[in-house]
Structure 1
């Protein structure tokens, strides 16, 4: 992946996009902003929405747009296409050219994600750190 200078603000992030990716990000952004009062920032090189910690992200890549949720695994009943992965309870919807999510579904996901943060707290602080597992030595089993 090429290293690029992050956008100065969310509007600049969207303005730097073109074609279907820009339209997709604009639609997601509009739905999210209508769903709840969220702080919108550019963090880690993409759009991140905050309410008592990180709630969701919108990330445009070369061939796809990701719509991800810190507690997305709890939202899979609303949107079964959310794929679990990463830290916390992350799940992400991968949108390729021609794929969509309805504005109503995007708003519902965002609203429920905010409610989860209000109820459960900041997902980055609620997560329990994983303990490092020491590898077993091959000859230790023979003792």
Structure 2
């Protein structure tokens, strides 16, 4: 059983492994986030769930619980298929990760949690 975000990331291989590792570093550098593994993948929290990363065969999903409120912040953002407000970006290489953009997205997610509360409650 995966216990930490680093354990999860070290279990990935290929480009998704490199991309997930780079994204994790960028997320933790934003400050204010805590990470845990929930539902089998890393979840990053501040005042509730903010974002997640999930490895796939050829990309890493970078998802936001309040993503539908953030669609205008990044043209790569796609609405999730479920009922909630989830939206995500597919990161295919480490070059898809921009630290400043990650920080902007995370800051907006944290702000939305302050305004609306924990999206999981």
TM-score, structure 2 as length reference:
0.88
Partner Cα distance (2:118, 2:15) in 1: 33
Partner Cα distance (2:84, 2:113) in 1: 12
Gaps (5+ residues) in structure 1?
A: 1-5, 126-143
Instruction: Give the corresponding residue for 1:137.
Output: none
In the TM superposition, 1:1-143 aligns within 5 A as 6-85=1-80, 86-97=82-93, 100-125=96-121
After superposition, the CA RMSD in angstroms is 1.7
TM-score, structure 1 as length reference:
0.76
TM-superposed CA distance for 1:102, in Å, is: 1.1
TM-superposed CA distance for 1:31, in Å, is: 1.4
Partner Cα distance (1:112, 1:34) in 2: 15
TM-superposed CA distance for 1:123, in Å, is: 1.2
TM-superposed CA distance for 1:88, in Å, is: 2.2
Instruction: Give the corresponding residue for 1:136.
Output: none
SS in 2 for 1:42: strand
TM-superposed CA distance for 1:75, in Å, is: 1.3
CA offsets, 1:81-110, max 9 Å, x none?
A: 111122321101112357613121111111
Instruction: Give the corresponding residue for 1:128.
Output: none
TM-superposed CA distance for 1:27, in Å, is: 1.5
CA offsets, 1:36-92, max 9 Å, x none?
A: 312201111111011222110000012221000000111122112111122321101
Name the structure, 1 or 2, with higher relative contact order (CA <8 Å, separation 6+): 2
Gaps (5+ residues) in structure 2?
A: none
Q: Is the 8 A contact 1:35 1:108 kept in 2?
A: no
- Paired residues, number: 120
Q: Which is worse superposed, 29-38 or 59-68?
A: 29-38
TM-superposed CA distance for 1:19, in Å, is: 2.5
